[in-house]
């Protein structure tokens, strides 16, 4: 997508939602970090249901540590992978107390050094909590970037770099939220709702379904599984035969 179309793409998304925010519910930076960690492979709706009562009693890392792993599991047992997530949340809470004075650090490297926090989680927190110009590429943004031609890439980091390079200045802070909401509610994986899409004429995806009852184009079926390429596994070094002693 060229620069003019990219600018217009964002301008229209901004026009429909001038001040987008994350759909996760939280009251402070610590709760935001916990909510984002819990949201991995889970829906924001499901996380919000689990954290509403949790966040009434836990507002600080100290309170989370006091609640303990088993106590936390009781609140988040409806969320996928809750056992490992509970372990990570308790560990990251301890790390925040020990390393950062109980404050969420405003630094990607410091965030990703916390248990259970990857690059995507760090980017979400930096953007939502501190207004940083970051692009947290999840499956929705990966799909939108590739399907529309806005930021094509084979891997998550490819798409993130393309967005970082190509997103115009006025749209850099909210770009992440516009794209994730667009992918979640309009540019859906199974049936993109192109007939009500504000950027359909700029999008490179063809053919476009022209109504809710229209057959799903083959191209849409192809893009259903538009997921990042798996990381390549490192090959183990080839074993060499031990030299045979002569004598």
pLDDT digits (tens, 9 = 90+) for 53-112: 999 999 999 999 999 999 999 999 999 899 999 999 999 999 999 999 999 999 999 999
pLDDT of residue 213: 73
Q: What's the pLDDT at 246?
A: 41
Express each pLDDT in 133-185 by its tens digit.
Answer: 999 999 999 999 999 999 999 999 999 999 999 999 999 999 999 999 999 99
What percent of the chain has pLDDT above 70? 86
- Catalytic positions: 120, 138
In the block, tokens 């409806």 appear at 78
pLDDT confidence bin for 228, thresholds 50/70/90: low
Separation of alpha carbons 199 and 174, rounded Å: 17
Average pLDDT taken over every residue of the chain: 89
SS3 label, residue 48: helix
DSSP notation for 231-244: PPPPPPPPP-PPPP
Which pLDDT score is estimated for 226?
56
Give the integer Cα–Cα distance in Å for 226 and 205: 13
**How far is residue 239's CA from residue 1's CA, in Å, rounded to a whole number?**
48
Q: What is the pLDDT of residue 219?
A: 60
Give this prediction's pTM: 0.84
């Amino acid at each position: 997508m060229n620069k003019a179309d990219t600018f217009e793409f964002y301008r229209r998304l901004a026009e429909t939602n001038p001040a987008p925010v994350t759909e996760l519910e939280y009251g402070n930076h610590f709760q935001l970090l916990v909510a984002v960690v819990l949201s991995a492979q889970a829906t924001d709706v499901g996380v919000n249901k689990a954290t509403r009562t949790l966040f009434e009693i836990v507002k600080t890392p100290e309170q989370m540590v006091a609640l303990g792993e088993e106590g936390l599991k009781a609140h988040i047992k409806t969320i996928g992978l809750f056992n490992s997530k509970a372990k990570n949340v308790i560990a990251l809470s301890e790390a925040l107390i020990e390393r950062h004075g109980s404050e969420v650090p405003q630094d990607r490297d410091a965030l990703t050094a916390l248990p259970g926090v990857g690059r995507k989680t760090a980017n979400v927190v930096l953007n939502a909590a501190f207004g940083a110009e970051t692009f947290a590429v999840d499956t929705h943004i990966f799909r939108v970037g590739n399907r529309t031609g806005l930021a094509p890439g084979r891997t998550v980091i490819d798409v993130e770099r393309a967005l970082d390079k190509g997103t115009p200045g006025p749209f850099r802070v909210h770009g992440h939220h516009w794209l994730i909401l667009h992918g979640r509610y309009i540019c859906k994986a199974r049936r993109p709702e192109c007939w009500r899409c504000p950027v359909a004429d700029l999008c490179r995806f063809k053919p476009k379904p022209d109504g809710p009852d229209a057959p799903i184009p083959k191209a849409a079926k192809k893009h259903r599984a538009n997921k990042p390429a798996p990381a390549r596994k490192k090959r183990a070094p080839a074993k060499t035969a031990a030299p045979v002693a002569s004598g």
